Amino acid sequence: MISGFKIITDLCDGMSNWMDEKGYKNIDDFVGLSVPKITRWEELDINFHIVANIDQDKCIHCGLCYISCEDTSHQSIAVEKGNPYNIYTIKEEECVGCNLCKIVCPVNDCITMVEQRKGDEYLNWIEYQKRGLPLNDH
Ligand code: SF4
Ligand code: SF4
Protein backbone atom coordinates (compact mmCIF):
# COMPACT_ATOMS: atom_id res chain seq x y z
CA MET A 1 0.00 0.00 0.00
CA ILE A 2 2.25 2.76 -1.29
CA SER A 3 -0.59 5.31 -1.13
CA GLY A 4 -1.96 4.35 2.31
CA PHE A 5 -5.45 5.58 3.14
CA LYS A 6 -4.93 8.51 0.76
CA ILE A 7 -5.97 6.10 -1.96
CA ILE A 8 -9.57 6.52 -0.76
CA THR A 9 -9.40 10.25 -1.50
CA ASP A 10 -8.01 9.46 -4.96
CA LEU A 11 -10.79 6.93 -5.56
CA CYS A 12 -13.44 9.47 -4.56
CA ASP A 13 -11.86 12.13 -6.79
CA GLY A 14 -11.79 9.65 -9.66
CA MET A 15 -15.45 8.76 -9.17
CA SER A 16 -16.40 12.43 -8.95
CA ASN A 17 -14.52 13.27 -12.17
CA TRP A 18 -16.12 10.34 -13.96
CA MET A 19 -19.60 11.45 -12.84
CA ASP A 20 -18.92 15.01 -14.08
CA GLU A 21 -17.72 13.63 -17.40
CA LYS A 22 -20.86 11.52 -17.79
CA GLY A 23 -23.23 14.21 -16.50
CA TYR A 24 -24.35 12.23 -13.44
CA LYS A 25 -25.39 14.30 -10.39
CA ASN A 26 -26.03 11.47 -7.89
CA ILE A 27 -24.98 7.86 -7.50
CA ASP A 28 -28.64 6.86 -7.94
CA ASP A 29 -28.42 8.22 -11.50
CA PHE A 30 -26.36 5.20 -12.58
CA VAL A 31 -26.90 2.46 -10.00
CA GLY A 32 -28.24 -0.61 -11.85
CA LEU A 33 -27.78 0.78 -15.36
CA SER A 34 -25.68 -2.21 -16.40
CA VAL A 35 -28.14 -4.83 -15.13
CA PRO A 36 -30.11 -5.12 -18.43
CA LYS A 37 -26.82 -5.77 -20.23
CA ILE A 38 -25.86 -8.77 -18.10
CA THR A 39 -26.04 -12.03 -20.00
CA ARG A 40 -24.86 -15.59 -19.63
CA TRP A 41 -21.36 -16.22 -20.93
CA GLU A 42 -22.66 -18.94 -23.27
CA GLU A 43 -24.59 -16.25 -25.14
CA LEU A 44 -21.63 -13.99 -25.83
CA ASP A 45 -20.51 -13.67 -29.45
CA ILE A 46 -17.27 -15.64 -29.63
CA ASN A 47 -16.52 -14.19 -33.05
CA PHE A 48 -16.16 -10.76 -31.43
CA HIS A 49 -12.48 -10.03 -31.03
CA ILE A 50 -10.54 -6.83 -30.48
CA VAL A 51 -6.83 -6.19 -30.29
CA ALA A 52 -4.77 -3.23 -29.12
CA ASN A 53 -2.97 -0.98 -31.55
CA ILE A 54 -0.20 1.49 -30.71
CA ASP A 55 0.10 4.71 -32.69
CA GLN A 56 3.87 4.97 -32.98
CA ASP A 57 3.62 8.68 -33.84
CA LYS A 58 1.99 9.41 -30.48
CA CYS A 59 3.95 6.94 -28.33
CA ILE A 60 6.37 8.52 -25.80
CA HIS A 61 8.08 5.14 -25.17
CA CYS A 62 7.37 5.10 -21.43
CA GLY A 63 6.88 1.33 -21.38
CA LEU A 64 3.84 1.36 -19.07
CA CYS A 65 1.79 -0.69 -21.50
CA TYR A 66 4.54 -3.28 -21.72
CA ILE A 67 4.88 -3.60 -17.93
CA SER A 68 1.14 -3.91 -17.39
CA CYS A 69 0.67 -6.51 -20.12
CA GLU A 70 3.71 -8.50 -18.96
CA ASP A 71 2.74 -8.49 -15.28
CA THR A 72 -1.04 -8.65 -15.40
CA SER A 73 -2.24 -9.75 -18.79
CA HIS A 74 -1.09 -11.91 -21.69
CA GLN A 75 2.49 -10.80 -22.44
CA SER A 76 1.27 -9.54 -25.80
CA ILE A 77 3.53 -6.52 -26.28
CA ALA A 78 6.91 -6.90 -27.94
CA VAL A 79 9.78 -4.64 -27.00
CA GLU A 80 12.59 -3.77 -29.36
CA LYS A 81 15.45 -2.44 -27.28
CA GLY A 82 16.80 0.79 -28.65
CA ASN A 83 18.84 3.86 -27.96
CA PRO A 84 17.62 6.39 -26.91
CA TYR A 85 14.31 4.58 -26.47
CA ASN A 86 12.60 1.23 -26.86
CA ILE A 87 9.88 0.52 -29.42
CA TYR A 88 6.72 -1.26 -28.28
CA THR A 89 4.44 -3.15 -30.65
CA ILE A 90 1.40 -5.36 -30.11
CA LYS A 91 1.67 -9.09 -30.79
CA GLU A 92 -1.78 -9.30 -32.34
CA GLU A 93 -1.96 -13.08 -32.30
CA GLU A 94 -1.43 -13.05 -28.50
CA CYS A 95 -3.56 -10.03 -27.55
CA VAL A 96 -6.85 -10.87 -25.83
CA GLY A 97 -8.21 -7.31 -26.01
CA CYS A 98 -8.37 -6.80 -22.25
CA ASN A 99 -7.84 -3.03 -22.64
CA LEU A 100 -5.38 -2.79 -19.75
CA CYS A 101 -2.58 -1.25 -21.83
CA LYS A 102 -4.97 1.41 -23.12
CA ILE A 103 -6.02 2.30 -19.58
CA VAL A 104 -2.45 2.77 -18.31
CA CYS A 105 -1.14 4.61 -21.37
CA PRO A 106 -0.62 8.29 -20.42
CA VAL A 107 -1.13 9.59 -23.97
CA ASN A 108 -4.67 10.12 -25.22
CA ASP A 109 -5.62 7.87 -28.13
CA CYS A 110 -2.11 6.47 -28.42
CA ILE A 111 -3.48 2.97 -27.86
CA THR A 112 -6.78 2.15 -29.51
CA MET A 113 -8.74 -1.08 -29.52
CA VAL A 114 -9.38 -2.35 -33.02
CA GLU A 115 -12.10 -4.84 -33.86
CA GLN A 116 -10.82 -7.91 -35.67
CA ARG A 117 -13.75 -10.29 -35.82
CA LYS A 118 -12.99 -13.96 -36.21
CA GLY A 119 -16.07 -14.43 -38.37
CA ASP A 120 -18.92 -12.28 -39.73
CA GLU A 121 -21.79 -14.08 -38.03
CA TYR A 122 -22.91 -13.95 -34.40
CA LEU A 123 -21.82 -17.27 -32.91
CA ASN A 124 -22.28 -18.24 -29.29
CA TRP A 125 -20.70 -21.10 -27.38
CA ILE A 126 -23.79 -23.31 -27.43
CA GLU A 127 -24.05 -23.11 -31.23
CA TYR A 128 -20.31 -23.54 -31.55
CA GLN A 129 -20.44 -26.85 -29.64
CA LYS A 130 -23.50 -28.06 -31.57
CA ARG A 131 -21.55 -27.68 -34.79
CA GLY A 132 -18.67 -29.70 -33.33
CA LEU A 133 -16.15 -27.07 -34.26
CA PRO A 134 -12.56 -27.60 -33.01
CA LEU A 135 -11.70 -26.04 -29.64
CA ASN A 136 -8.59 -24.27 -30.90
CA ASP A 137 -10.57 -22.33 -33.52
CA HIS A 138 -11.29 -19.54 -31.00
S1 SF4 B 1 -5.21 -5.38 -24.69
FE2 SF4 B 1 -4.50 -6.61 -22.93
S3 SF4 B 1 -3.58 -8.41 -23.85
FE4 SF4 B 1 -3.74 -6.90 -25.47
S5 SF4 B 1 -1.76 -5.86 -25.48
FE6 SF4 B 1 -3.15 -4.67 -24.17
S7 SF4 B 1 -2.78 -5.43 -22.07
FE8 SF4 B 1 -1.93 -6.93 -23.52
S1 SF4 C 1 2.06 3.28 -22.54
FE2 SF4 C 1 1.50 4.43 -24.39
S3 SF4 C 1 3.11 5.99 -24.54
FE4 SF4 C 1 3.86 4.46 -23.12
S5 SF4 C 1 5.08 3.02 -24.39
FE6 SF4 C 1 2.98 2.22 -24.28
S7 SF4 C 1 1.95 3.03 -26.08
FE8 SF4 C 1 3.78 4.25 -25.77
3-state secondary structure of 87: strand
Ligand 2 atom at shortest distance from the alpha carbon of 61: 5
Query: How many CB atoms are closer than 10 A to CB 105?
Result: 23
Distance, CA of 125 to CA of 27 (rounded, Å)? 35
Integer CA distances (angstroms), 39 to 33, 36, 99, 121, 129, in order: 14, 8, 20, 19, 19
Same domain, 70 and 99: yes
pLDDT tens profile 2-53? 567 888 999 999 999 999 999 999 999 999 999 999 999 999 999 999 999 9
Q: What are the pLDDT digits (tens) for 84-110?
A: 999 999 999 999 999 999 999 999 999
Query: Same domain, yes or no, for 49 and 23?
Result: no
**Do 34 and 50 have their domain in common?**
no
Task: Say whether both 70 and 21 belong to one domain.
Answer: no
Asked, for residue 25, whether it belongs to a domain, the answer is yes
58 secondary structure, DSSP code: T
Question: In which domain, by residue range, is 121 found?
Answer: 39-133
Mark whether 66 and 8 lie in a shared domain. Answer: no
pTM of this structure: 0.77
Task: Establish if 24 belongs to a structural domain.
Answer: yes
Quick one: which H or E segment has residue 103?
helix 100-104
Q: Which residues line ligand 2 at a C-beta cut-off of 6 Å? A: 54, 59-65, 88, 105, 107, 110-111
Indicate if 51 and 69 belong to the same structural domain. Answer: yes
**Pocket perturbation via mutation, ligand 2, pick of 55, 61, 100 by most ligand atoms within 8 A of CB:** 61
Q: Give the CATH number, domain containing residue 115.
A: 3.30.70.20
Query: Which ligand has the minimum distance to the alpha carbon of residue 61?
Result: 2
**101 and 124 together in one domain:** yes
